[in-house]
Amino acid sequence: MLSTMQDGQLSLARLLRHGSTVHSEAEVITWTDSGARRETYGEVGKKAAKLANALRGLGVTGDQRVATFMWNNAEHLTIYAAIPAMGAVLHTLNIRLFPEQLVYVANHAEDHVVIVDGTLVPLLAKQLPEMKTVKHVIVANGDASTLEAPAGVQVHSYSALLDAQSDEFDWPEIDERSAAAICYTSGTTGDPKGVAYSHRSIWLHSMQVCMSDSMRLAQGDKALVIVPMFHAMSWGLPYAALMVGASLLMPDRFLQPKPIAEMLEVERPEFAAAVPTVWQGLLQQLDANPQDISYLKEVVIGGSAVPPSMMHTFQERHGVTVVHAWGMTETSPLGSVARPPKAATGDAAWAYRYSQGRFPASVTARLVGDSGDVLPWDGESVGELEVQGPWIAGAYLGGADVDPDKFHDGWLRTGDVGKITHDGFLTLTDRAKDVIKSGGEWISSVDLENAVMGHPAVAEAAVVGIPDEKWDERPLVAVVVKEGQSVTAEELRDYLTDKVAKWQLPENWTFVDEVPKTSVGKFDKKRLRAFHNEGKLDISHL
């Protein structure tokens, strides 16, 4: 028996029409070196139509890929809306990729057009000659004449292109299962892998972002979106904002603690999202230059584990609730959000908040042991996390032969190791490649990092396993000390004595100016291990 319901495509064209009309007065606010500039969603809708008309004239007539090389700003939101809505495919290029990776992903996606921010033209220009399929480059927020393009590539001014176009466009009816956007992940071995999101997956994911058990993005909110639009679709926040009419505060290239503090003071957003390293820097800024940020109701932090000490500092010193979330490029990226059950109070509520969170109805999860058996949700059994659902990748771009080991019997193998409680809360203990096996026992690098970062003199701490003749592996702790503070390896080891088991206490310590980071701001443990292997670290052995 079939239903009697109407059948409409969950396309981003429909989302754009809705956001630019029903929520036409909501704003996208872009930070500049002289303050903020503002556009309404109604204006975004008109500019999206202009951009779509311009791209038709440049040969984007079907599902050609249009890449962005952009900061978080109003222009990028317009592009986010226009490209999928016109039936083309958005490809967000990560501006922090290594040059050879940047060239690889542009060629692999077969980008036809690249839209680049004027401040990033010098960075793109170095790699553009190697991007074999690019025919047009559009320069936004800058002088197009500064880009000397290789033969066969035409350069255009974003503003001039749009000025010549109509602000009306006949948005096509699009199959909701067709590709809307592509992101590449470097979290796997070898070349970056492409994840092609569908219109349907983005629509469903956007709805979840707005739900009460998720990020709770709501009409009338102003959201400071620091998580880059080139990283996992900015955690789905741009599309969710169009869906419910939340205004967006975009930091553009001003990502340092001082301008972020200025944005907070001037615009007073209720919501913000970024990786832990951003908020660690902001806390140091607020320590040096106190200001009230209690209007900031919630900060969603993901990308890597949040130290409990950071959660408590935001809550107790600034009145800001930190909401822990987990996800990855392959999960669109929302996988789980840590909102405690209503009945949980005190330490029990904090324990839930420390976790990576509870799975929503659309994400099914399981834990798989070393022998391939499925483990129970008992809060104790530890295994590799596998997930499936309507916004979870089922393959990489290019088909089943691309890293097939990442997908198992219809499940995505996340590479994360953890445990799940009976009520569906996930706690990750490590990445499979980062867990430390010492004397036949497992040591969680994440748990050690969180414990060390609880020390008041520590700004950052990253833990990796290094070879040991007796125990196979032992932890090495790389520590960044806060400016104006001092602490020794002996003091830190003593600090840990009542926080971790005695056999887990690290005897290998190194003090560094900065922990190396990946292109998305996570600790780059692969580089840290390489520094150790190459003898580049000054290590204290206790």
All structural domains of the chain: 12-28+38-198 (3.40.50.12780), 436-541 (3.30.300.30)
442 annotated active-site = yes
pTM of the prediction? 0.87
pLDDT at 188 over 70: no
Q: Which of 75, 176, 270, 330 is catalytic?
A: 330
- Over range 526-530, report the average pLDDT: 89
Say how far apart CA 93 and CA 123 lie, in whole Å.
Answer: 12
- Over range 495-510, report the average pLDDT: 91
pLDDT at 423: 96
Residue carrying structure tokens 């500049």: 32
pLDDT at 187 over 70: no
Q: Which of 92, 185, 313, 518 is catalytic?
A: 185
- Over range 107-120, report the average pLDDT: 98
Say how far apart CA 540 and CA 463 lie, in whole Å.
Answer: 14
Exposure b/e, 492-508, CB count within 10 A at least 16 = b: bbebbeeebeeebebeb
Q: What tokens does 118 get?
A: 């004027």
pLDDT at 481 over 80: yes
pLDDT at 437: 75
Q: Which of 442, 503, 526, 536 is catalytic?
A: 442
Say how far apart CA 200 and CA 213 lie, in whole Å.
Answer: 21
185 annotated active-site = yes
Contacts 24+ apart (CB under 8 A), 497-501: 499/451, 499/454, 500/447, 500/448, 500/451
pLDDT at 21: 98
pLDDT at 189: 61
Give the rounded distance of the alpha carbon of 365 from its chain centre.
Answer: 20
437 annotated active-site = yes
Helix (H, G, I), strand (E, B) or coil at 304: coil
pLDDT at 173: 93
Q: Which of 126, 437, 526, 536 is catalytic?
A: 437
